[in-house]
Structure 1
């Protein structure tokens, strides 16, 4: 297994990772399936901890993810969850910044749950609060954003038992979101919702490749963001993102 440091994280992903990392450490799963791993930045951090498998349908992102995750001891398939080996069930299923890209998010979540053993868990993250929907959301192919109550409702509709929902990103996330909104506006994007299915698919495919830092910048970002990973805990109901954990009934 490679000892190469994991892929660098953008600032907002670094804030998200602090919440995800804490949840995964508490759960200590023996096996993990990640849906839509993007370029594999989180996957490269999770793969050394468990029997890890990811799926990523976008071929460009998959190529990067495969290199990163296989170096960390995991596996990646260039597929949707339909490519997961029949009968494989895991302790923990993850989907980070995926559900907001799906028009029928509840049906997708119900489909994913078949890959989780009874008593196992589902860990997801999404952008928070629909009133914060902005041009960046449109640029990257988001159908919606989620309040904590909507996360719980989505879990329940998929037959899951909500365990905890954490809002993150205060206060740094607000500034980062403002910058991303400016970037989108400069690209000529407004805040309209939705769009043709093929256009939404293209936006989604490219979303994980925007504003990705290089290694040296990523190291600086990681160091600079550390104080904010702690500060966001001061306001656990405020922020720009949400992480939800649910249990599959035994």
Structure 2
């Protein structure tokens, strides 16, 4: 379909909005004026400065709400308020697509730097979606092939040197980026037909009843 009314809740610099535009009319919200400025530089125009917990739209305004790596932020507060807002602005039968970091035991230095409030498990996210009246259609982990490396890094982190307040994430060399792209591409093909039992990320698709 190319006629969907889409809201990207927490649009950041607008990369997802640009991709979603092929499926319909996309609106974006973000708390950060800087992020919205980047969106405008991409030529995106349907933008509002707002919180995911107080969406500036009427009920039943959208067919699809997306929110990628947003609800875990400390600035969101109670993420369930955001889920209720997503439910409110969806038309009956509309869907919400979420991507969030998984497992509190993977919390590390980078989480502190970017003000992470929490990470999620699939059962926890599923229960929260159902509590606000959304029917879960698909729930899976992703970034599974990189999970062992990330877990090993977290276990070793207490013994690795780092300055206070310093992230443990840094740019990769081009050849490493190429390897990671190939790995994630293979996983994406698998996810078209199958779910994954664990991973660095949890992804949910849920529908508003009616």
TM-score, length basis structure 1: 0.67
Q: Which residue of 2 aligns with 1:116?
A: 90
Is contact 1:107-1:158 (8 Å) kept? Answer: no
Q: Secondary structure at the match of 1:121?
A: strand
Secondary structure of 1:170's match?
coil
1:161 CA displacement: 0.9
**1:103 to partner: Cα distance:** 2.6
Counterpart Cα distance in 1 of 2:143 and 2:118 = 18
Q: Is 1:147 the counterpart of 2:107 in the alignment?
A: no
Deviation at 1:87, TM superposition (A): 4.8
Gap runs ≥5 in structure 1: 1-26, 192-209
Deviations 1:202-228 (A, max 9, x none): xxxxxxxx9689xxx6xx947850343
- Counterparts in 2 of 1:188 and 1:41: CA distance versus 1, 3 Å: same
Runs (4+) of structure 1 exceeding 6 A deviation are: 210-213
Does the CA-based 8 Å contact 2:60-2:92 persist in structure 1?
Answer: no
TM-superposed deviation, 1:88: 5.9
| Residue of structure 1 in register with 2:164 after alignment | 188
Q: In proportion to residue count, which structure has more strand?
A: 2
CA separation of 1:168/1:119 partners in 2, compared to 1, >3 Å: closer, same or farther? same
Pairs within 5 Å for 1:1-250: 30-68=4-42, 70=44, 75-81=46-52, 82=54, 84-87=56-59, 89-101=61-73, 102-172=76-146, 175=149, 178=153, 186-189=162-165, 221=177, 225-231=181-187, 233=190, 236-250=196-210
Aligned 8 A contact 1:127 1:240 in 2? yes
Q: Give the helix-richer structure, 1 or 2.
A: 1
TM norm structure 2: 0.78
Please state whether the residue corresponding to 2:119 is helix, strand or coil.
coil
SS in structure 1 of the partner of residue 36 of structure 2: helix
Answer 1 or 2: higher relative contact order, Cα 8 Å, separation at least 6: 1
Alignment match, 1:203: none
How far the C-alpha of 1:172 sits from its partner, in A, is: 2.6
Question: When the two structures are aligned, how many residues end up with a matched partner?
Answer: 196
SS at match of 1:45: helix
Contact 2:2 2:22 in 1 (8 A): no
Larger radius of gyration: 2
Unaligned 5+ segments in structure 2 are: none
